[in-house]
Amino acid sequence: NACGSCHNCIRVDSDNHPNVLVIKPAIEEGGSIKIEQIRQVLEENQKANFEPGPGVFLITQMHKATKSAANALLKAIEENHRDKVFIALAPSKMAILQTIASRLTHHVITPDPDNDICSEEYKQKIIRICRTPPQERFFIASEITCEKNALISEFDALLAACHA
């Protein structure tokens, strides 16, 4: 329930909050989360929080972590301090290393239907994907196209349209 306008919200939004570390795939290095990025998490996990409140590690696109990065993150999660919180975002629980998935609480997040960022068509596609059990999402993909590159393009368009 972030307000978006207070001091903390502004700092989180601009990647300047000292208690929040956001890890994103390295675009220039093949679009994956590298072990060097997770080593930064390991280092910060050992430090005291700069400000009162929990330290938060937000790993976006966790499914894009290399195997060595995922294994290093597992170590950080297992050696977690009480005042640290890990949030790993992925398209599904099955998209990440099973040992990591077993140590995290799983929450399904669906798009806000009142979000004006993307078109109604894209909203409906995303909502349908989110509400479909992971084992059945293959059928949705096959309805879109059976060509791998076209499917990737369609999902990239969904991502770009709704996550501006």
In tens, the pLDDT along 47-66 reads 888 888 889 999 988 888 99
Backbone angles phi, psi at 31, to 5 degrees: 75, 30
Per 3-state DSSP, the chain is made up of helix, strand and coil in percentages (nearest 5) of 50, 10, 40
CB 62 within 8 A of CB 100: yes
Q: Given pLDDT bands bounded at 50, 70 and 90, which one contains residue 139?
A: confident
CB 98 within 8 A of CB 107: no
Backbone angles phi, psi at 55, to 5 degrees: -90, 135
d(CA 6, CA 28): 33
pLDDT higher at 95 or 126: 95
Percent of the residues in the chain that have a pLDDT greater than 70, as a whole number: 87
Q: Mean pLDDT, the chain, as a whole number? A: 81
Pull the structure tokens for residue 157: 């368009």
Q: Given pLDDT bands bounded at 50, 70 and 90, which one contains residue 116?
A: low
CB 88 within 8 A of CB 65: no
Q: Which pTM was predicted?
A: 0.66
Does pLDDT of 17 surpass 80? yes
Report, as an integer, the average pLDDT of 12-16. Answer: 85
d(CA 125, CA 127): 6
pLDDT at res. 100:
87
pLDDT higher at 119 or 44: 44
